[in-house]
Chains A and B, each alone.
Chain A
Amino acid sequence: MSLLEIEKLSLTIGDTPILRDVELSVAPGEVMGLVGESGSGKSITALTVMRLLPWAARASGRVAFDGIDILAASEDQMCALRGDDIGMVFQEPMTALNPVKTIGEQVAEGIRWHTRASRADAEDRARKMLDRVGLPSAQFPLSRYPHELSGGQRQRVVIAIACALKPKLLIADEPTTALDVVLQAQILDLLRDLVAENRMGLLLISHDLAVVTEMAERITILRHGEVMEAGDTARTLSEQLHPYTRQLAQASMHVPARARTHEVGQGNPLLQVANPLLQVAKPLLQVESVTRDYPGRRKSLLKRAAPIRAVDDVSLSIDPGQSVALVGRSGCGKSTLARMVLALDGPTSGTIRFRGEVISGKSEAELKPARRDMQVVFQDPYGSFDPRQKVEKLVAEPLHVLEKKPTNAERREMVAKALHEVGLSPRDMDKYPHEFSGGQRQRLSIARAIITRPKLVVADEPVSALDVSIRAQILDLFAELNQKLGVAYLFITHDLTVARAITDQVMIMHDGKIVERGRTSAVLDHPQSEAAKALVAAVPDLHRAITRRLQEQG
């Protein structure tokens, strides 16, 4: 007998169809994985079960939870179900908690509401639940506010809220997407334990096939609001009978074809002897024992806490055309380092040389020539464009660093060329950003980055906000531009698969220091430092997960 049974669920918002004949079921104690790319309707499916849809949404079909017809239930009935029998965990832990209420209040609130328990009793239960999710009372008293916690800790609070009353069904909508891999592994472990403890059903929604394969016995693959394929996880993904399943699986294991890699000066004497030109090539970027301190929090009017060292005595160098990954967990200092490389922030001590010239501590005017040769691609393709400007203007933005201001015709020609290079049409130049999809927008930001023909592009998590198939295309584009334009990359990421796909060298950063560096494949296959081992071990791997599942099933 299924706990949750969805039959022929169709849903429209206004006149737009969102879901068509969706079928899905979750049994008690079972983990069901719901996979799909953005816009496939997986979140809407979850919200339908909770009946937290936008009010313009119209649903038809049957959704039964524990014998209750969800679509026909009254709002009072739904309030009684939500938080008590059905819990939900959301994607973005940084915004999922009310900033003005303590974590104790927020966990206890649902308990008090549903059980009519006294404040003291409810807080007692909240305390136990927080202990259970790994937030012990010594460091995390009930009186803590969300802003005093990190993203991973906040997600634990959200899980505590959802599981406080031991729900029969937990819906987790991309619960680990915003977290780094080590935190992701911890949160997934926690969810797995909670499922086992209470025979809770778990509907796990994710765009990450590897995560779902590790967690779920059965899988449902959704595309454009329709179920493409559903069934046993291991069999579905190993047989890959449905073309879309195959496409998804291949995209998530995609490695761009790279004709040549740069191994200059990295212990390949043959190459150096054979090519005297490369031998004399100077490093493009040299970071020499750079440290960055941030002032500590003010304790009183006159006293401050000791400064926080975000980057601690880091040295590195990047050769022209080389592709380097800087990998580390969130908060390890990698973005601070990237800001200093881009001369957006100055180091407390140490020097940064770009093309042989010192760029740290220079004025904006002096930096102009250097800026021409370095550009940046950000993580969020939605937030990094002014929505009221046309593509032509957005992509042409870096041109103001050129020595000679291009004429209008020249400018349009340069923008057209850059758009062509990233696989967009020059006609797109007169459109606005909202007319593009997430992947196309990331192409726009790459076009913006290469328009000045830079020698170095710093990319801060450039594909982590993208769907797997789009991610594969963007990685290909990065690889292609590296070959064609000889541009060097500094990839900042916590995702080792990205690092493995397109970089020659990798540096592992931990607590502001670079703790390990070397050839990407060597470091990732045989990590030496604790930090690198932890990162490698935490990465969900689709191959490994499928193999393990098949072995378990015999």
Chain B
Amino acid sequence: MTTYLLKRLTIALITLVLASMVVFAVLEIIPGDPARLMLGMNASADQVELLRNQMGLNAPVALRYLHWAGGLLSLDFGRSYTYSVPVIDLVRERIVVSLPLALIALALSTVIAIPVGLFSAGRHGRAGDTIAMGAAQLGVAVPNFWFALMLIYLFAVWLRLVPAGGFPGWSAGVWPALKSLVLPAIALALPQAAILARVTRSALIDVLNEDYIRTARAKGLPYRAVLWRHALRNAMIPVLTILGLQFAFLLAGTIIIENVFYLPGLGRLVFQAITQRDLIVVESVVMLLVAAVIAVNLLVDLSYAVVDPRLRSRQ
């Protein structure tokens, strides 16, 4: 088990270093001079050159990489070119919106998908399964912003239960803040739940054909008990894989939903930074997301070992 853990940890760290190099290199070769952008079109070449020196943009690449990476380790992401505030402040402001949103959406998606998957797999090929999977197909096909609009119409405009958009901040109290995250979380969760339900179903159907399911039935366990006690845990590995991928997406890929609900999240921050060539913000946020994805993958790998004892004893 410790060997498995150490191995995964090493792989995660190596991935992180390689990813940081790639992020740095990509932004190096993208055209656009941050100094020129900050000073505007009217600045003279000398002024730009001066600023480039101040910002350290003229130092050798390797040196700049080390400087940047070293900063990341001490949570010093540098200063934003456009806002002239430390990047960490910008990120902190946004992550308190994006992280809870992603977590709520993920929890919702799991809570919807697993029972639907179990239901469908238990009725494989019969009417209930067809209907559930038809609904899931619809959930995958319909874009989440359309769901978002429908939800706003129903719950905010018509029933007036929750605000239609905006984020009051956590300082306004936990409940109002949560209320403004409910609709975006549902809008994000539905398509994810549809995908996850399909994965759960097909993993379960594979498992239900295994011999040990028959053994469990021969013990006298009712079908439903066999499904929950024997099939589900064996079907968890593909489900956990998809969950890991979905979390990464929910953390950063939510720009459309953030725009629909007017939420100040990470997605919008990156989007604005890209349009303004605020490279240091882009780099930092991308690195943060990379780190989050790697951490989640590590967590998923470790949960494999929790689910499957064979992975624990294998080297």
**A interface vs B, CB < 8 Å?**
50, 52, 75-76, 79-84, 87-88, 90, 92, 95-101, 106, 109-110, 113-114, 145, 147-148, 158, 161-162, 297-298, 300-301
Contacts and interface: CB of A to CB of B under 8 A. Distances in A.
Given A79-B221, A100-B234, A52 B309 contact: no
A100 B308 contact: yes
A99 B218 contact: no
Contacts of B159: none
23 contacts: A50-B218, A52-B218, A76-B222, A79-B222, A82-B217, A82-B218, A87-B218, A88-B218, A92-B211, A98-B215, A98-B234, A100-B234, A100-B308, A100-B309, A110-B221, A113-B219, A113-B220, A114-B220, A147-B309, A148-B313, A161-B219, A300-B2, A300-B3
Interface in B162-193: none
A90 B315 contact: no
A416 to B, nearest CB: 38
A98 B216 contact: yes
B210 interface: yes
B220 A301 contact: no
Contacts of B92: none
B302 to A, nearest CB: 16
Contacts of B210: 95
Contacts of A92: 211
Nearest to A300: B3
Contacts of B220: 79-84, 110, 113-114
Contacts of A106: 215
A247 B197 CA distance: 53
Contacts of A90: 211, 214-215, 218
Contacts of A300: 2-3
Nearest to A157: B215
Nearest to A94: B211
A147 B218 contact: no
Contact of B211 (A87, A95, A161): A95
B67 interface: no
A162 B234 CA distance: 22
B308 A99 contact: yes
Nearest to A297: B315
Contacts of B230: 98, 101
Contacts of A109: 216, 219, 221, 229
Contacts of B222: 75-76, 79
B6 interface: yes
A162 B218 contact: yes
Most chain B C-beta atoms within 10 Å of own C-beta, residue among A90, A98, A162: A98
B221 A113 contact: yes
B307 interface: yes
A148 B314 CA distance: 11
Contacts of A110: 219-221
B153 interface: no
B233 interface: yes
A78 B313 CA distance: 38
A52 B214 CA distance: 8
B271 interface: no
Contacts of A113: 219-221, 225
Nearest to A91: B211
Contact of B309 (A99, A161, A162): A99
Contacts of A95: 210-212
Given A75-B222, A145-B310, A99 B212 contact: yes
Contact of A161 (B215, B225, B234, B315): B215
Interface string B276-315: 0000000000000000000000000000000111100101
A158 B215 contact: yes
Contacts of A76: 222
A100 B233 contact: yes
A211 to B, nearest CB: 21
A87 B308 CA distance: 27
Contacts of A50: 217-218
Contacts of A52: 214, 217-218
B310 A301 contact: no
A92 B212 CA distance: 10
A414 to B, nearest CB: 39
Rank and list the top 7 A-B pairs by shortest CB-CB distance, nearest first.
A83-B220, A110-B219, A83-B219, A82-B220, A298-B315, A95-B211, A88-B218
A79 B216 CA distance: 11
B313 A96 contact: no
Most chain A C-beta atoms within 10 Å of own C-beta, residue among B218, B309, B310: B218
Contacts of A80: 220
Contacts of B219: 82-83, 109-110, 113, 161
B96 to A, nearest CB: 38
A339 B101 CA distance: 56
Nearest to B212: A98
A158 B216 CA distance: 10
Contacts of B216: 98, 109
A297 B312 CA distance: 12
Interface string B72-85: 00000000000000
Nearest to B308: A100
Contacts of B225: 113
Given A90-B215, A97-B212, A113-B219, 8 more contacts: A52-B217, A95-B210, A99-B234, A99-B308, A99-B309, A113-B220, A113-B221, A113-B225
Contact of A145 (B221, B229, B307, B309): B309
Most chain A C-beta atoms within 10 Å of own C-beta, residue among B3, B212, B233, B313: B212
Nearest to B126: A55
Interface string B87-106: 00000000000000000000
B210 to A, nearest CB: 6
A79 B233 CA distance: 22
A381 to B, nearest CB: 20
A179 to B, nearest CB: 15
A96 B233 contact: no
A90 B214 CA distance: 9
B157 to A, nearest CB: 47
B3 A298 contact: yes
B111 to A, nearest CB: 22
Most chain A C-beta atoms within 10 Å of own C-beta, residue among B212, B220, B230: B220
Nearest to B307: A100
Contacts of A79: 220-222
B206 to A, nearest CB: 13
Contacts of B3: 298, 300-301
B213 to A, nearest CB: 8
Contact of B6 (A82, A99, A114, A301): A301
Contacts of A158: 215
A52 B6 CA distance: 45
Nearest to A50: B218
Interface in B202-260: 210-212, 214-222, 225, 229-230, 233-234
A147 B313 CA distance: 9
A81 B234 CA distance: 26
A96 B234 contact: no
A438 B46 CA distance: 84
Contacts of B308: 99-100
B212 to A, nearest CB: 4
Nearest to A100: B233
Contacts of B307: 100
Contacts of B217: 50, 52, 82
A96 B211 contact: yes
